[in-house]
Chains A and B, each alone.
Chain A
Amino acid sequence: MELFMSLTIGVLFAVGVYLILSKSLLRIILGTSLLTQGVHLLLLTMSRLKTGAPPLLGEKADAYVDPLPQALILTSIVISFGVTSFFFVLAYKAYQKLGTDNMEELRGDEHE
């Protein structure tokens, strides 16, 4: 399972990187979103998969999965959500002001 998850994470990273290298602002934000998913899965995979019951003590199981990475991922999800939402609005406003979503056209003024 870990082997397969590692491959999946690799694909998510590769596609995410390919997208953030593109010109369109929308594709870049989609790329960061995919990268975030890849990171979350990587965190989970590196702490061993399926070693026991969910970390709810009411289960009375012999073993539980590691609760710490789950707490870390939860924090990360919320933070990346906040950041991504901000980027959405920033991209939207940038397009509204500048009239383009092409990153190659969004450069500093030569004469500044």
Chain B
Amino acid sequence: MSLLHAAILLPFILAVGIPLLSSLLRSAHTGWFVLPGPALLFAYFLSRIPAVQEGQSITAAVRWIPSLGIDFTVYLDGLGLLFALLITGLGSLVVLYSIFYLDKSKEAVDRFYVYLLLFMGAMLGVVISDNLMVLYGFWEFTSISSFLLIAFWHRRERSRYGALKSMLITVFGGFAMLAGFILLYLMTGTFSIREIIGQADAIANHALLLPAMLLILLGAFTKSAQFPFHIWLPDAMEAPTPVSAYLHSATMVKAGLYLVARFSPVFAGGAEWFWLVSGFGLFSLVYGSYRAIKQTDLKALLAFSTVSQLGLIMSLLGFGSAAAYYSGTGDYQLYAAAIAAAVFHLINHAIFKGALFMVAGIVDHETGTRDIRKLGGLMAFMPVTFSAALIGAFSLAGLPPFNGFLSKEMFFRAALQMLRMDIWNMQTWSVLFPVVAWTGSVFTFLYSMLLLFRTFTGKLQPDKLEKKPHEAPLGMLLPPLVLGLLAVVFGLFPNLLAYTLIEPAVASILPRELSAAGKFKVDIYFWHGWTAELFMTIAIVAAGTILYKLYRRLTVLNRPLLRRISLNAAYDGGLRSLEMASQRLTNAYMTGSVRRYLIYILTFFIVALGLTMIGSDAFRFDTSGYADMSAYEAAVAAALILAAVAVPFARSRLTAIILTGAVGYMVTLFFVLFRAPDLALTQMIVETVSVTLFLLCFYHLPKLRREKLNVRFKLTHVLISAGVGILVTLIALSASGSRAFDSISDYYLAESYNSAGGRNVVNVILVDFRGFDTLLEIMVLGIASLGIYALIKLGADSGAGGLQ
């Protein structure tokens, strides 16, 4: 147990303790008790920076299930530390924000903080765990707590829909990821990520590597809302805004990026990984930014923007994977720069997107709407909010002097770098990369400006607003302002981050390459000269401004395209048809008719046994040991067969019962013929009593009907019963024809008198050698008679509704 373990467990402990504490102190908002937790954790993780910067990593293990190789091992390196700082830092700000956002008297705030703390602990667990199974456990924990948080206002239908959708999609990806982890375990024999990375060379050509890669990527893409799994994210905006800001922009959706970055040392260096990661990333970038333009709801716009920005980071991780291929050559530094850009933009995105979501929450809170068609002219009323929004939106658009500008420049440099690549068919396709990146950035610029100016400038429409707009309380403004300040500071002094966080994170994404080529130096300059990237940015501003001016006139831009063919319709239709198909399937075979079920059972019996007999060549009929047969026995057998066959043809109840009785008496005669006196006696008595019971009971039943079946149905019944009959005959013949060893009955015959003092061997077996059977058989008879008694007695007491 180390401090790191305690850090992961602290939110869980708080989640248990907070409701108790707040029930004692009812006057204060629960959030004030929560706030010290993440703040303390943030301070703790800040204090780890110097050690990690030196290249030291912290490892500690707690034994959990050693027999399966599953231990709660934690591992803190540059990548884990970066995420841990994001989680705890933004977590503290979001808790502070939510204290003012959620009204203590109207909302179930205790519940909110319990879910939020569960999420925080789970997320810390994801980024600090070294064991795959522990990582998976925390991963699903984030899905579950996210589900609970989205449906926080569970009386709204849309909240429940959004929660269910995100649950289904992320858990689907989670299961795929689990399968991928198990494949990795099969290849390497360990669940430890460290050890798997250590064996990366050994498994590089393993047949299971590609399936494992695809499954793990599926997990990463669903969690990080990459196309086409992004559809849950816009619907998750039904959550309270602090949740959207925290989970659905800064932390949980980055878990997929974390996964890709974490497994880069295992998978990177191949064409499949490069194309999948950068291809899906670039497509999500363009698609998300294009869809964001058309949104009229502030949070939906931000949701699509998140999809797009996550696509950008994902594609950078894909570009950077080429560094693994060029490992050891001079070119690798150029590709490693893409990884640095990914890490830098990941931090920047968390900062400005968190701020923008909080701004959207403030606007919603103070005006009562998030619809940008109803908003406008808020600048005069909410100057502080406007400044935070301006910094966030400009940073998102990639304008100087904010941090988004720098990471966008680095993104362009990485995309241009792709032009130089001559492997993996890149000669043909490389020109697309900068073009796609540039197009996506133009859309990004456009929606950032729409977001900012249509909310805060223009004319105020007071009649459309539910409340009179005014500035938010200080506590609510503080978190976005802190984030805005960070955006400016990191924009002007990017190297504050470069040496402390980015370099160690890059070192953990590209561990082998760096050890081969020495330490990787990240240098981010605010002014990098008249480069191609800068001209691309200038072109973005120009093109974006023109599009913004034309926005109202260009229907292509603001009218939803392809409304009918949407992924949401496919998802909803898929779920609906799945439900309908399974219902139809179940109704088709679960008819409620006992006959139908008997047909299934008997058909299965015939097919399974018949195939087994054919398959095992069981038809061995050895007639040598057969007893001879007298005319008397033949007559009894013939009578038995006749009586049995006549039963289905009997018209009256009495005939059928008597025929069945006749079969019973013929069996009695067989017992006599086959030297079984006790059996004959019992059978005769039981048969007599049974027939009497039959007659007694069925005196009250209606006349026996001849079965009126249609021919097809009757034929089925005949075929099934003939099949069973033939099969049983064959089994009987082959069983008596192939006896593997002698009976143990010689022992009973020899010892019946010597050991048990009885000469009737059957009776000695029943009460002495195998007396337990008899005991329980007596019990069966007792239970049956008690049951009959209860049936008659209780039925008579409550028999008011009986037969008229």
Instruction: Say if the beta carbon of B534 comes within 8 Å of chain A.
Output: no
Partner of B759, one of A44, A56, A74, A85: A56
Q: Is B571 an interface residue (CB 8 A)?
A: no
Taking a contact as CB atoms under 8 Å apart, the answer to whether A66 and B724 are in contact is no
Asked if B664 CB lies within 8 Å of chain A CBs, one says yes
Contacts A17-B720, A44-B674, A73-B679; is A26 near B780 (CB within 8 Å)?
no
CB distance from A53 to the nearest CB of B (A): 7
Q: How many A-B residue pairs have CB under 8 A?
A: 276
Chain A nearest CB, measured from B748 CB (Å): 6
Give every chain B residue within 8 A of A73 (Cβ-Cβ).
676, 679
Contact A3 B626 (CB under 8 A): yes
Asked whether, in the complex, the Cβ of B592 is within 8 Å of the Cβ of A107, the reply is: yes
Chain A contact residues: over half helix, strand or loop, or mixed?
helix
B105: min CB distance to chain A, Å? 44
A38-B728, A89-B792 known; A68 and B787 CB under 8 Å? no
CB pair A64 B761 closer than 8 Å: yes
User: Contact at B676–A75, with CB atoms within 8 Å?
Assistant: no
Residues facing B in A56-73 (CB within 8 A) are: 56-58, 64-68, 70-71, 73
Q: Which chain A residues border B781 with CB–CB below 8 Å?
A: 78-79, 81-82
Contact of A86 among B682, B718, B784 (CB under 8 A): B784
Q: Which residues on A sit within 8 Å (CB–CB) of B744?
A: 68
> For the complex, what is the distance from the CA of A64 to the CA of B442, rounded to whole Å?
100
Alpha-carbon separation in the docked complex, A85 to B789 (Å): 11
Give CA–CA (A46, B803) in the complex, Å: 47
B645 at the binding interface (Cβ < 8 Å): yes
Specify the chain B residue showing the minimal Cβ separation from A21: B717
- Given A6-B732, A42-B732, A46-B732, do A13 and B625 touch, yes or no (CB 8 Å)? no
Cβ-defined contact, B644 with A34, below 8 A: yes
Q: Which interface residue of B648, B698, B732, B733 has the most chain A CB atoms within 10 A?
A: B732
A89, B335: Cα distance in complex, Å: 84
- Is B21 in contact with chain A by the CB < 8 A criterion? no
B693 CB within 8 Å of chain A = yes
B766 to chain A, nearest CB (A): 5
Cα of A52 to Cα of B679 in the assembled complex, Å: 16
Cα distance, A21 to B707, chains bound together (Å)? 10
| Bound-state Cα–Cα, A41 to B636, Å | 13
Q: In the complex, what's the smallest C-beta–C-beta distance from B731 to chain A, in angstroms?
A: 8
Cα distance A51–B676 when bound, in Å? 12
Residue of A nearest to B592 (CB): A107
Residues of A within 8 Å of B202, CB to CB, are: none
Separation in Å of the B104 CB from the closest CB of chain A? 45
Q: How far is the CA of A83 from the CA of B690 in the complex (A)?
A: 11
Inter-chain contact B682/A45, CB cutoff 8 Å: no
Tell whether B302 is near chain A: CB-to-CB under 8 Å.
no
A68 touching B745, Cβ below 8 Å? yes
Which of B627, B670, B671, B733 is within 8 Å of A6, CB to CB? Answer: B733
Within 8 A of B (CB), among A3-34: 3-27, 29-30, 33-34
CA–CA, A45 to B722, complex, Å?
20
| Residues of A that sit less than 8 Å from B by CB | 1-27, 29-30, 33-34, 37-38, 40-42, 44-58, 64-68, 70-71, 73-75, 77-79, 81-86, 88-93, 95-97, 99, 101, 103-104, 106-108
Q: A53-B675, A83-B780 are in contact. List 20 more A-B contacts (CB 8 A).
A: A1-B627, A13-B725, A13-B729, A21-B598, A22-B707, A30-B656, A37-B667, A45-B732, A48-B739, A54-B676, A54-B677, A68-B765, A70-B679, A71-B762, A77-B682, A84-B690, A89-B792, A95-B701, A96-B802, A104-B593
